[in-house]
Amino acid sequence: MMLAIILIVLFALNTPINAHSWIEQLTLIAPNGTFVGTPGYPRGNYLRSTSGYSDTTMTYLIPPGSRANVTEILPTDKLCKDTQQEQKQSDGSPRLEASAGAAIALRFQENGHVTLPQNQPGKPPNRGTVYVYGTTQPKTGEKFLDVHGAWTADGTGGDGRGVLLSKQNFDDGRCYQVNSGEISGTRQAKFTHTANQLMGADLWCQQDIQLPSNAPSGKPYTLYWVWDWPTAAGADPTYPNGKAEIYTTCMEVDVVTTVGKQAVNDEYDIDQDLNQAAIPAQFDSLGDGVSVQASGTTPAAPSTQNTQTTLTTMARSATAVAATTARRVTVTDWETSTSTVYMSLPT
């Protein structure tokens, strides 16, 4: 076991910073903020230990890299990766089981996006905003703009099939990849943990959420995770008009009558092992409604972008624009700037 951990750490230290992020694991959170029970995984999960694994087996980018207009998000863009269209699990990657109202951590790697901000000019200081939407009525071929920016916390937005459960900073204030960056060094010293087989020497990020208390037992409850990570206009010469960059993960939780010890609104254990600990500010705010929760630390990097970036896109050609009206759809919302898409619709 120790040899395996050492090899994982050495591999991490020599891995180029070119990966992106997705939900790697879901886990229950006990009343004291500790991870408990058997973890769950997204649809069509591809474990890093599986032969043939690569970054592209789990990442899903909107708009796709093949699209000429990098600010364009179309009404036909799907929310989920092709391998995550169906409610199906891969061998060895079961769903999480949880009761209605349970506290859950969605865990992901920062991959240098937090600790090496200079590698991506024009990105928001909170490293983007992460959203979690929930529904008991998912669709195969779910459209991105039908959900993101449409579903609301009260369930009245969009087509009314789902709700916005959580909105947080991508940077949870603790997570880090072990690298030579100043942010990584500071966090390694402040948030020390023992390397393990799952994370190696890194400390993964997380988004802590609470399942709805009325989620029906005996059925899967669908979660859509959206990471909105735009580039501001004028900040990167490669993208003078800015760039929309969004990643998603689609997954289910099997809602059961009861699963061991799980609850919220209990006293957080501040001295617990960070390998198994929820984020205090996020955990304490569960049940308080949706808002971007402060991590308890300042953002990893100062803001370098404009205070407002507008990404304008039309879903049809310029000749059709005169015959359409634009519906405003907010696709990015972070602390210091906004990014808005105008999606053309028939009059």
Domain assignment of residue 318, yes or no: no
In a domain, 340, yes or no: no
Task: With respect to residue 337, please indicate whether it lies within any of the assigned structural domains.
Answer: no
- pLDDT score for 20: 85
Distance of alpha carbon 104 from alpha carbon 36, whole angstroms: 10
The pLDDT assigned to 326 comes to: 36
pLDDT at res. 260: 60
CB 261 within 8 A of CB 36: yes
Number of domains in the chain: 1
For residue 347, the model assigns a pLDDT of 36
Question: By residue range, what is the domain housing residue 44?
Answer: 2-306
Q: Is residue 26 part of a domain?
A: yes
The tokens for 260 are: 């061991």
Establish if 314 belongs to a structural domain.
Answer: no
Identify the pLDDT of residue 157: 98
The whole-number pLDDT of residue 342 equals 36
Q: How far is CA 286 from CA 59, 171, 290, 293, in A?
A: 28, 18, 9, 10
Q: What is the sign of the dihedral through the CA atoms of 271, 273, 278 and 279?
A: positive
Written as tens digits, the pLDDT of the chain (347 aa) is 544 444 444 444 444 445 689 999 999 999 999 999 999 999 999 998 888 888 899 999 999 999 999 999 999 999 999 999 999 999 999 999 999 999 999 999 999 999 999 999 999 999 999 999 999 999 999 999 999 999 999 999 999 999 999 999 999 999 999 999 999 999 999 999 999 999 999 999 999 999 999 999 999 999 999 999 999 999 999 999 999 999 999 999 999 987 665 545 568 899 999 999 999 999 999 988 887 654 444 446 543 333 333 343 333 232 233 333 333 333 333 333 333 333 333 33
315 found inside a domain:
no
Query: Domain for residue 345, yes or no?
Result: no
Nearest to 27 by CA among 90, 81, 94: 94
In a domain, 320, yes or no: no
Tell me how far apart the alpha carbons of residues 236 and 71 are, in angstroms, rounded to a whole number.
14
Residue 267 has a pLDDT of 82
